[in-house]
Structure 1
């Protein structure tokens, strides 16, 4: 899980520097930041970036689907000291199955008790069947090894994706994730919504899952008249997914991506709560945090938020290239405004201010 405060970040940075003075990259921890950057900061395929900050070094993990890296592992793994220059490290996870039909989505890292954890979704062989899993490693670079047991939603939902581990202020860990809701109870749209459960020992769910947020507004439409044989029904299917929790000003902000990831309409919005499990209110009628624009970013979303070397919050997200053939890694600062969190996706060179 990324660090959530400037104090934690600076303490970690100072501790790492005092212990070794070098990062795993073999370069000084306090190397100067570039004066400017241009998105994408990594032009290769990097969908659904999950990011971990550990001892002053950033590690980013990206979806690979059915593909393996050259080392036979899944999930693209990158490393950086400044969020702008990224080094390729190969794959992060030894696949838990030899069946090449499986797809692997949305890796999210966490660190606890001296171990590194990688949460992700596996599925794709049966219609609408994906399960959340977790793998463990002794180093942030891995290789991560699956624990062998899926983290099963307590309702038995067949489609659970986009896991996001979050540690609350009392040290309790929770797992937020997306799952299907093929009903309109409460006036919500049928589609993918957000749920959460408490983690037990990082590798097991407590079985206390609850609905956190459902699709409410038209902008989150994934596909109209979508036929889903698994439910023997046709829906105007809406999607909110990719949950990400950040505590700010004593409030919990639940960020999420909405609409169809395959289109330029994809974007990021948020809701707010006083407690980590909600109730979350105030979701927007548009993607208020991160949205594309003509001639600008295309379909920005599925993001992570980390504290940068400058002490500010930064958003790492994917966006499509001009040809809409690959999702690339981008980064821009998060602004906490009186109207809520905002991030403007950029494609032109940007100055790095301190």
Structure 2
């Protein structure tokens, strides 16, 4: 993998001095970003009348020496720092930690994330892990690795519980072949969780890249795969699943996160393990995409219900103008006749979540 990807994707600057959006003078509106500091890959958990946001820290640590910055809120707009979430496991010095997601199961909070080799991640890869805590904000302790056979790069774990109570794990992994006309690159898969800390290792492909807009980089040299150069390397990442009107929607972010092509799209299936279809996404991201001159690279999102318990919001990151920080933003999601569409990205005052 290119060093640029490994250093930029997982970096969180200003950890010890993480600032949050001050309370709005006008109580009726908010304006994105709702957190005006770096907070990549945001996941928001709603629990006990409170919101907990978790963000990627890369190789950084919060002021309390932990991994993954935590913020809390009661309205999705006014956020307060709550330290770090994960106690760094022994032997992880210099490793990158990416994209945490948290679920509650039988009284225990489970955090899924990936960690890799930091400065040498281009040659040692990234793997999924899980940690547990008795409290939503942590501290979390790593309890297991989730190795994926024949894969050196697995990231962006997303746990999903189906209507029958069974848990599944969606994640992104690399594919180096061009079978069936697909581009090589990072794609999406799903596997059943035998327990909250063990995969069944019966993964099925959810979606691979076959559209030009998801290009990450042309002529990409990949040390992870024997210094092989790929004419076109594409990326699908950040899966997040919703069941709506009897169908499963696997949302994802596609393309190079540094570009204005980066955005959120989706594929659908009748069954949780697929097959999934992405018809209609050949022209670019449909759910959430850049707004020239105003918003660049919105994506790697999570879904969360607003304070009313009904309105669905996307929490996502987008670049600041200088492209030095990916900041936390929120906007409502609408289920339209053409499919799900974010009512954004917005950059002007919007009604506060109710």
Please give the range of the TM-score, normalised by the shorter of the 2 chains.
0.7 to 0.9
* Structure 1 match to 2:9: none
Secondary structure in 2 matching 1:43: strand
* Counterpart selection for 1:246 from 238, 242, 254: 242
Unaligned ranges ≥5, structure 1: 1-32
* Structure 1 match to 2:43: 50
Deviation string 1:102-152 (CA, Å, 9 cap, x unpaired) is: 0000001111000001100000334251000000000001100000x3101
Deviation string 1:30-61 (CA, Å, 9 cap, x unpaired) is: xxx94211100011211001121111211111
Mean Cα deviation higher: 224-233 or 205-214: 224-233
* Counterpart selection for 2:256 from 260, 267, 270: 260
Secondary structure in 1 matching 2:37: coil
Stretches of 4+ aligned residues off by more than 6 angstroms: none
- Over 3 Å counting, the alpha-carbon distance change for 1:350 and 1:126 in structure 2 is closer
Residue pair 2:34, 2:330 contacting (<8 A) in 1 also: yes
Residue pair 2:171, 2:239 contacting (<8 A) in 1 also: yes
* Structure 1 match to 2:298: 300
CA distance in 1, matches of 2:256, 2:317: 14
Calculate the TM-score normalised by the size of structure 1: 0.88
* Structure 1 match to 2:325: 326
- Over 3 Å counting, the alpha-carbon distance change for 1:301 and 1:340 in structure 2 is same
* Structure 1 match to 2:346: 346
Is 1:281 matched with 2:277? yes
Deviation string 1:70-121 (CA, Å, 9 cap, x unpaired) is: 1000101011111111111010000113443200000011110000011000
Secondary structure in 1 matching 2:192: strand
CA distance in 1, matches of 2:197, 2:177: 30
* Counterpart selection for 2:30 from 13, 26, 37: 37
* Structure 1 match to 2:13: none
Secondary structure in 1 matching 2:130: strand
* Counterpart selection for 1:210 from 204, 207, 211: 204
CA positional deviation for 1:347: 1.0
- Over 3 Å counting, the alpha-carbon distance change for 1:99 and 1:170 in structure 2 is closer
* Structure 2 match to 1:16: none
Deviation string 1:289-322 (CA, Å, 9 cap, x unpaired) is: 0001112211000000111113211000000111
Unaligned ranges ≥5, structure 2: 1-25
1:20-35 superposed matches below 5 A: 34-35=27-28
* Structure 1 match to 2:159: 165
Q: CA RMSD in A?
A: 1.4
CA distance in 2, matches of 1:334, 1:87: 24
* Structure 2 match to 1:151: 146
* Structure 1 match to 2:12: none
Deviation string 1:172-228 (CA, Å, 9 cap, x unpaired) is: 000000000001111111000001111122111112112111011000000000011
CA distance in 1, matches of 2:272, 2:151: 22
Deviation string 1:227-253 (CA, Å, 9 cap, x unpaired) is: 113323211100000000011111111
Residue pair 2:40, 2:55 contacting (<8 A) in 1 also: yes
Secondary structure in 1 matching 2:36: coil
Residue pair 2:306, 2:353 contacting (<8 A) in 1 also: no
CA positional deviation for 1:261: 1.2
CA distance in 1, matches of 2:195, 2:178: 35
Calculate the TM-score normalised by the size of structure 2: 0.88
CA distance in 2, matches of 1:34, 1:176: 38
Secondary structure in 2 matching 1:178: strand
